[in-house]
């Protein structure tokens, strides 16, 4: 089936099935994929939350699923289909850097290929890192100053005691 933007907003479930289901695009493209009814249900819930958000000022979706459900693929596919359908962007926030890496490096390229096979348009995936992950010149300078001030103290603490001032050890 060809990707129909109107159908996506009316009922995204068939598009999720086309991507993740038996004989779906993942398998058609030869990408590693295990069909999981739980993953399809999860992805459908995400897709429905995304399609309901249009015209409603945006919604925040916080779906939950057990470990091993395939959550990363379960939110990437609907997010990328939605971004393609709307011409907009979707932000996926992760708590840990390894999860961001899983999206950008492992799951993202396959999901983008699936969406391209479905829509004829390849979505782009890019990491957005928090400011805390970058070196700040002023913070680096402040840290260097602190280290320079502490170094003489540390050197004084570790220097051998002058003769006659050794502490007795038992």
User: Mapping DSSP to helix (H, G, I), strand (E, B) and coil, where does residue 72 land?
Assistant: helix
Quick one: tokens of 148?
Answer: 């320079």
Identify the pLDDT of residue 152: 60
Burial label for 101, CB within 10 Å (0-12, 13-18, 19+), is: middle
User: Mapping DSSP to helix (H, G, I), strand (E, B) and coil, where does residue 164 land?
Assistant: coil
Identify the pLDDT of residue 81: 96
Q: Which of the residues in the chain have pLDDT under 70?
A: 1-2, 54-61, 131-135, 151-170
Identify the pLDDT of residue 169: 47
Q: Is the pTM of this model over 0.75?
A: no
Identify the pLDDT of residue 155: 55
């Amino acid at each position: 089936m060809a990707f129909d933007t109107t159908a996506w907003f009316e009922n995204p479930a068939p598009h999720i099935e086309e991507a993740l289901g038996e004989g779906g695009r993942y398998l058609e493209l030869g990408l590693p994929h295990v069909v999981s009814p739980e993953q399809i249900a999860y992805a459908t819930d995400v897709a429905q939350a995304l399609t309901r958000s249009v015209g409603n000022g945006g919604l925040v979706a916080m779906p939950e699923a057990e470990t091993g459900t395939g959550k990363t693929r379960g939110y990437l596919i609907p997010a990328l289909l939605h971004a393609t359908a709307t011409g907009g962007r979707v932000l996926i926030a992760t708590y840990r850097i390894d999860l961001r890496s899983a999206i950008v490096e492992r799951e993202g390229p396959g999901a983008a290929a699936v969406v391209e096979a479905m829509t004829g348009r390849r979505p782009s995936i890019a990491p957005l890192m928090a400011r805390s992950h970058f070196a700040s010149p002023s913070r680096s300078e402040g840290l260097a100053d602190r280290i320079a001030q502490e170094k003489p103290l540390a050197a004084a603490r570790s220097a051998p005691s002058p003769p006659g001032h050794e502490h007795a050890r038992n």
